[in-house]
Amino acid sequence: MNLRKLIIPIFVYLLSSCDKNSANNTLKTNSWIQEVMEEVYLWEEHIPDNLSSKDYSDSFDFFDNLLYVEDYWSWLSNDFFATKNMLDGITTTGGYEFLLTYTDEQYYNIKGIIEYTLPRTPADLNDIKRGDIFTRINNTSLNIDNYYSLLTSYTSYTIGFDTIINGELTPLKDINITEVENFQENPIHIDSVYSIDGKKIAYLMYNQFIAEFNANLDETFAFFKSENITDLIVDLRYNPGGDVSAEIHMANLIAPNSAISEIFKKNHWNQLYTDYISSEFGEEFFYTRIEEASQNINMTGKIIAITSNSTASASEGLINGLEPLTDMTLVGDTTHGKYTGMWVIPDNDSIWAIIPIVVKTTNKEDVSVKGGMVPDILLSDNPLDGYQLGDIRETMLARAIEEITGTPVTRSARIQPDFMGEEIGRFKHGKELKAQARIVGWGQDLLIRNQE
């Protein structure tokens, strides 16, 4: 049995044609779910003993009842290929990410605040910018009862934007959006170098860990290297995680030479996998170490990580793994606290997919990100500050630069901060944020117990 197929980040797809799962196939699906979870699930020992796949007519309900009380992340999909596309950064999108907040003290009416747009998308072509405010979809005002339906039901729609006059939202314009299909976002949103007070500061905003773009990361770090940068700002405020191989690749590009061969992270599996790995591969297989990379920048200066409560999973893993090895400071909000890793496991028909928690990680000092990472400098993202991402006057970037140079960046707030309102949630490209995971194959050749 080749456990390497499960551990090493490669993709194995088991393809066949089949219709959507029907009611009379529910038992088969439930049995498959239980079989997978009893093997790979990190908290396998907490799966209820008295749970029977025959007692559930809905596979989603059955899956939910398998989960451990501390598991906020595992999920089940009945569309494997849509899940795969999401993990590859391929979506149907209008090309904008936004924050939803309330507009009144009754917590009923809602506004959306654009956080950023993607190049060459409908939002970009319609000149939608960070800080723009909308309150209507198809001429219907957003509120707590209808916002989810309005924001997720259409691929062609009208967005109603407002402006602020005398502290009040006032209708400004309507923009027609027709979303584009199969759009793949380049996760490298900004890569710039600023020369400030004798420092050469590299700034990288990276919005999802996607292994397909590792070569693009190499180009970015080659650019940083050619600029002889002294310090690095990695902006992960909008990064919910992704492929662990991309996380490790970035760590290898950043880490100083002194960290080569040092432990970057430790992986902790359930007892079945722990015993198997120990006997077949030895203790070293539990560790991920820093390796040499051709475009490594040997960062011995300051590293500033910009974070938010959307910074999760692989993003937190990158920060946590590098902290003991570098001079790192966190600026922003407390991170999400996802200290675990996931796989995407399709069934043999590639219809259903289980996305379970399979591993938890710590850094070389056995520190996890459970509960979230509290920044050294607490600061909230403010898309209403009047500055675009990458502008050194933008709230969080300005504070990160100040931490490096010791000198505040000259700037002025343009919109009262209290107009932000209480946050409801964030949407990525017009869709609700989902968990990030890695895809592995599933079949009889990947089952440990079937090889015993």
pLDDT in tens, 33-42: 999 999 999 9
Q: What is the distance between the alpha carbons of residues 86 and 68, in angstroms, rounded to a whole number?
A: 25
Q: Are residues 173 and 118 in the same domain?
A: yes
Please say which residue of 153, 183, 213 terminates a domain: 183
Write down the mean pLDDT value for the chain. Answer: 88
Average pLDDT over residues 177-191: 96
Looking at residue 448, its pLDDT comes to 33
Average pLDDT over residues 360-381: 97
Q: Are residues 21 and 143 in the same domain?
A: no
Q: Are residues 148 and 160 in the same domain?
A: yes
Query: pLDDT at residue 19 above 70?
Result: no
The H or E element spanning position 150 is helix 147-152
Query: pLDDT at residue 8 above 50?
Result: no
Band of residue 14 on the pLDDT scale cut at 50, 70, 90: very low
pLDDT in tens, 204-223: 999 999 999 999 999 999 99
Contact 261, 236 (CB under 8 A): no
- The least confident of 102-111, 117-126, 303-312, 369-378 is 102-111
Average pLDDT over residues 426-451: 40
Please say which residue of 167, 183, 199 terminates a domain: 183
Of 81, 2, 28, which is closest to residue 439 (Cα–Cα)? Answer: 81
The CATH number assigned to the domain holding 331 equals 3.90.226.10
Band of residue 283 on the pLDDT scale cut at 50, 70, 90: very high
**Which position has the higher pLDDT, 69 or 428?**
69
Average pLDDT over residues 146-157: 93
Of 138, 157, 173, 136, which is closest to residue 93 (Cα–Cα)? Answer: 157
**Which amino acid is residue 83, in one-letter code?**
T
Average pLDDT over residues 370-376: 97
Tell me if the pTM is above 0.85. Answer: yes
Q: What is the distance between the alpha carbons of residues 10 and 119, in angstroms, rounded to a whole number?
A: 29
Average pLDDT over residues 147-169: 93
pLDDT in tens, 95-141: 999 999 999 889 899 999 999 999 999 999 999 999 999 999 999 99
Residue 403 belongs to domain spanning = 1-89+185-413+435-452
Query: pLDDT at residue 449 above 90?
Result: no
Determine, yes or no, domain membership for 428: no
Tally of domains within the chain: 2
Parallel, antiparallel, or unpaired: how do β-strands 199-206 and 231-235 relate? parallel
The sign of the dihedral angle between the CA atoms of 147, 149, 154, 155 is positive
Parallel, antiparallel, or unpaired: how do β-strands 357-362 and 353-355 relate? unpaired
Average pLDDT over residues 272-280: 94
Looking at residue 427, its pLDDT comes to 67
Residue with tokens 């949103």: 189
Please say which residue of 183, 201, 227 terminates a domain: 183
Q: Are residues 195 and 247 in the same domain?
A: yes
Determine, yes or no, domain membership for 81: yes
